[in-house]
Amino acid sequence: MKIISQNTAFGGMQGVFAHESKACKGEMTFAVYVPPQATSEPRPVVWYLSGLTCTHANVMERGEYRRMASELGLIVVCPDTSPRGVDVPDELTNWQMGKGAGFYLDATQEPWAEHYRMYSYITEELPVLIREQFRVDMDRQGIFGHSMGGHGAMTIALKNPGRFRSCSAFAPIVAPSSADWSVGAFEKYLGADKAAWRRYDTCALVEDGARFPEFLIDQGKADGFLDNGLRPWLFEEAVKGTGIGLTLRMHERYDHSYYFISTFMDDHLKWHAERLG
């Protein structure tokens, strides 16, 4: 692991780091905020997964999480959204595919399968590095994200309920198997057989028996992607009768931007802190 930058903020440390990833076969960059409490004791960790076109930097620079993370004593890890590098396949004119659009899945189709293994990277490889390098309590983990990252957070939580105690999302893509935003990418990454897509689809996972105690979702009613890409009401319908708790908050006038995310970031961090102890 190499240090790209380290800055003091609210008594803690905001760092950006890079390392060679075996899962993604190339250098990956990620950000970590370490609160001041971590100098003396292991602290809970919350993973934040970003959306399409983003890197680790979007939430780090505009998400406004450090003050509350410092107050609550939460370590916040912000990975990148895809592999990078000159040898990594991409579609330069398609923002919904390739670099910046890893969809937190393990691709099975060429030419994507070699590098696009973000599910394995987030759930297996990066946690080992975080455990080795930072004073984290890995028995207290939460996960959240925005848009494509909300999709990633919710699917990862549903498939790993023994690892994560809390999950929330800002404007998540809850049914990527049928959303305009993601159908094309899913077919290219996973092939034409839609049965393979269900492993990375929040609503389908619930339909197939996956369970997680509860979710918090915040969604702006002025979000231009609400009807074709996000559709949180599909998840609301999917969890009926399952025992899965859902707090779905629909907000007038808010859009899909980081103005929306930063407004409700404190609420999400408090949600996780309450469940992580």
Domain ranges of the chain: 2-269
CB-CB contact of 34 with 3 (8 Å): no
CB-CB contact of 31 with 56 (8 Å): yes
Task: Give the Cα separation of 223 and 146 in Å (integer).
Answer: 13
Amino acid found at 158: L
Active-site residue, 256 included: yes
Kindly report the CA angle at 211 between 210 and 216, in degrees rounded to 5? 125
Tell me which DSSP letter residue 99 carries. Answer: T
- pTM for the predicted model, two decimal places: 0.97
Q: What is the structure's pLDDT at 63?
A: 96
**Alpha carbon distances (Å) from 249 to 145, 208, 229, 245, 275:** 15, 25, 17, 13, 19
CB-CB contact of 71 with 32 (8 Å): no
Q: What is the structure's pLDDT at 203?
A: 98
Per the residue annotation, which of 56, 115, 146, 256 is the catalytic one?
A: 256
**Alpha carbon distances (Å) from 248 to 156, 170, 222, 260:** 19, 10, 15, 15
Query: 30 pairs with which residues across the strands?
Result: 17, 79
CATH superfamily of 2-269: Alpha/Beta hydrolase fold, catalytic domain (3.40.50.1820)
Q: What is the structure's pLDDT at 205?
A: 98
Task: Give the Cα separation of 258 and 277 in Å (integer).
Answer: 27
Per the residue annotation, which of 21, 147, 166, 177 is the catalytic one?
A: 147
Q: Looking at 117-156, which runs of residues are DSSP E strands?
A: 136-146
Task: Give the Cα separation of 133 and 38 in Å (integer).
Answer: 12
Q: Looking at the chain, which runs of residues are DSSP E strands?
A: 2-9, 12-21, 26-34, 43-49, 75-79, 136-146, 164-170, 214-220, 245-251
Task: Give the Cα separation of 176 and 203 in Å (integer).
Answer: 9
Q: What is the structure's pLDDT at 181?
A: 85
pLDDT in tens, the chain (277 residues): 999 999 999 999 999 999 999 999 999 999 999 999 999 999 999 999 999 999 999 999 999 999 999 999 999 999 999 999 999 999 999 999 999 999 999 999 999 999 999 999 999 999 999 999 999 999 999 999 999 999 999 999 999 999 999 999 999 999 999 998 899 999 999 999 999 999 999 999 999 999 999 999 999 999 999 999 999 999 999 999 999 999 999 999 999 999 999 999 999 999 999 999 8
